[in-house]
A and B are shown apart, each in its own frame.
Chain A
């Protein structure tokens, strides 16, 4: 297939702004290699007209991958950034795991994207060298041209594309080490123009001709089912074409518009079988965590032996509630079942899971399900579930027509997956000078991975070690967990366990510093003073890099200088997703409640690909974390989620949003996570500031409960 016909095949759905075209289905690159276009790998196509198309194989959910990932490739390609067009891949077999989560997009595609760009650059240089009958070493590439160093000859990438496409693809092209031209620059996001004029297409905005709309009445009782339903009133709503049970726990209403579907769903009379959890409450679940404390804990990180230490004992317990992701775009997916195949358009973080699970429920082979990724109106982990896609596929199969399943905000709040609630028991033994001889952090929590069917490691969720490191150089340490069960659906929410473990351990560190009558910054720096590498779970942590972010945050916040009257501050640091974050939170107190005035956040995430986007990620992480700390709380009563909308689950608004100053440590280390690491230090730094103001310890979130 030629480039032109391939382009036509991609559809016309979204000319989303300069530099951004969205291809909704990625055909096998074998087709694109033919004839004139140059496509040395799955990530890149250069056409003779000079257009450079870079494929983004992760989902754009606000974190900027449509810009940052192409920058990595374009750097090695020596491309002129202005010539770059991006294409969103759908579920594919060409890119490995396409799950967008774990702050992994940049850190896991850094090497493949660099290699993809370098392969092409080397081939273009070889093509030019052949053209001129000169040695490749006498040629160099820059700004989408190959130039001959001893003559004035130069050829554009477009002019070289066809010839380069006939050359062998090098396995190990040389990579740059520094001296970057694109990486490290605050390049504007390619998706911004379409997001300020209403033209950006999210899943909710997607449409295909002849499409119907569906709303589902799902059983809000956890583990409950549909016992029976009366569709009479619903069917009388104009435009309603079908009312039918779509699964054990849901009835679908299909109509000619979103509103008619929602209205008809309200008119449905359903009898629910509330199932086995109808008396379940958050209080009872928290009690069950307390009661599990006498069970044997699984130690997953040990230094020395905490049981053989004597001295001054300090103990504290911390607890956190269930929380909801609540992305701004409620759930939705469009599906078109065509008998022997199905096509999906979904705002998903897991296109391959969508493909495989849709295939399974429809009885199709995975290769018969095409999954296209639309823009995501926020993700935060909620769209690591594939429930929307499966529902849409089932409804489309039932009506033999394309359909968009639309969730309301209440659906999102009540039928979601949730950050697990958890209980943290910390204890320490201090020496005469107040330095810890031993620290134990026992985490009592249900396991997200366990509930989803993953194998636990000796009874511990392996993510706890990666997302709960204790890297202070204390001679005796124990991280241990007791995994409990809950029927409440659990999900991975921005920073996952690191929010809980960071809150508990960094609040406790502050308690130790206070008990020792030492400055909390100095206390931390002292415990990190020696340069060491600490291995915890699958991650290795550097005490020097943690000191680096602490010192940067402290310096920028003016930690050594006195605050104006009525201002108080707290500090915390935490490592997660291979990055290091430290934050200083400055507050005032108004009627006994904290008012966050300023947050200084410092991040070491290795090489920074785009400081413009990194600032967004840091600011966004802090604001997201502030909602979590102040009032995000999902409660369960009579087996159901109590909260339903933004009136009883209140994200912070501008009037509570502090100035967030974002800083990063210049680094040549490989890039590590950015979207999640700024989240964990916020709550403990804020609670430590509250202690500084009031001498009151906040040991349970949310603060404003």
Chain B
């Protein structure tokens, strides 16, 4: 066990866990931020996506020791004041079905729009293909990203 200080959604948190614990499980079990999901445990599906110092990161394959001292943003902290434009767009398009992958989808989309505020359809597809949705919400995810983008949305 060891102590690590994390900056999660603007709050400083100190956790006492094994250094090899994936950030995912620290967020979920220790900090009770369960919006970040466990899907594959191997960096393949994107359900665990968070932002670490602004970069889209698979929290299931990042050890907590690597995340220490960095700024971590999860779905719970995505909207600084209320909902992020992407979350609003997700609601407007009624994207989720089971919803389990959607935190990761939204975090990925937020990362895309932060870099590319007005992505082309191909850019959306390329960037979002790191994530898996078994319910098949891809069409509506595309629509929601376009909607947020058209609304001026990366902020």
Partners in one complex: yes
Tell me the bound Cα distance from A651 to B46 in angstroms: 13
> Which of B42, B45, B142 lies in contact with A654, CB distance below 8 A?
B142
A378 interfacial contact with B, CB 8 Å = yes
- Closest B residue by C-beta to A627: B134
> In the assembled complex, which residues on chain B have CB atoms less than 8 Å from the CB atom of A213?
29
Chain B: number of interface residues, binned into ranges: 35 or more
Tell me the bound Cα distance from A197 to B101 in angstroms: 12
> In the assembled complex, which residues on chain B have CB atoms less than 8 Å from the CB atom of A199?
35, 76
> In the assembled complex, which residues on chain A have CB atoms less than 8 Å from the CB atom of B130?
653
Shortest CB distance A405–B (Å): 13
A235 interfacial contact with B, CB 8 Å = no
Contact A257 B25 (CB under 8 A): yes
Given contacts A328-B47, A328-B133, contact A204 B91 (CB under 8 A): no
> In the assembled complex, which residues on chain B have CB atoms less than 8 Å from the CB atom of A198?
33-36, 74-76, 103
A47 interfacial contact with B, CB 8 Å = no
> Which of A263, A378, A410, A645 lies in contact with B135, CB distance below 8 A?
A378
Shortest CB distance A579–B (Å): 18
Contact B44 A647 (CB under 8 A): yes
Given contacts A197-B76, A654-B142, contact A259 B21 (CB under 8 A): yes
Tell me the bound Cα distance from A204 to B28 in angstroms: 10
- Closest A residue by C-beta to B138: A657
> In the assembled complex, which residues on chain A have CB atoms less than 8 Å from the CB atom of B55?
none
Tell me the bound Cα distance from A259 to B61 in angstroms: 12
A623 interfacial contact with B, CB 8 Å = yes
B96-126 at interface with A (beta carbon < 8 Å): 96-103, 106, 124-126
- Closest B residue by C-beta to A379: B98
Contact B39 A623 (CB under 8 A): no
Chain A: number of interface residues, binned into ranges: 35 or more
**Residue of A191, A408, A654 with most partner-chain B CB within 10 A:** A654
How would residues 60 to 78 of chain B score, 1 for a CB under 8 Å from any chain A CB and 0 otherwise?
0000000000000011101
Given contacts A197-B87, A198-B34, A330-B38, contact A259 B25 (CB under 8 A): yes
- Closest B residue by C-beta to A199: B35
**Residue of B17, B97, B137 with most partner-chain A CB within 10 A:** B97
Contact B136 A189 (CB under 8 A): no
B151 interfacial contact with A, CB 8 Å = no
Contact B136 A263 (CB under 8 A): no
Contact B97 A645 (CB under 8 A): no
Contact B18 A62 (CB under 8 A): no
Contact A659 B139 (CB under 8 A): yes
How would residues 165 to 200 of chain A score, 1 for a CB under 8 Å from any chain B CB and 0 otherwise?
000000000000000000000001101111111111
Shortest CB distance B118–A (Å): 18
Contact B34 A327 (CB under 8 A): no
A63 interfacial contact with B, CB 8 Å = yes
Tell me the bound Cα distance from A262 to B40 in angstroms: 13
B149 interfacial contact with A, CB 8 Å = no
Given contacts A259-B21, A616-B137, A657-B138, contact A651 B29 (CB under 8 A): no
Tell me the bound Cα distance from A207 to B135 in angstroms: 25
> Which of B96, B98, B129, B139 lies in contact with A653, CB distance below 8 A?
B129
Tell me the bound Cα distance from A620 to B139 in angstroms: 9
> In the assembled complex, which residues on chain B have CB atoms less than 8 Å from the CB atom of A258?
25, 28-29, 38
B53 interfacial contact with A, CB 8 Å = no
> In the assembled complex, which residues on chain B have CB atoms less than 8 Å from the CB atom of A621?
136
B residues lining the A interface (CB < 8 Å): 1, 17-18, 20-22, 25, 28-30, 32-42, 44-45, 47, 74-76, 78-79, 83, 87, 90-91, 94-103, 106, 124-126, 128-142
5 A-B pairs whose Cβ atoms sit less than 8 Å apart in the complex:
A328-B45, A378-B100, A653-B128, A654-B138, A660-B136
Supplied contacts A329-B100, A377-B99, 4 more A-B pairs, CB within 8 Å: A326-B134, A328-B39, A410-B41, A657-B136
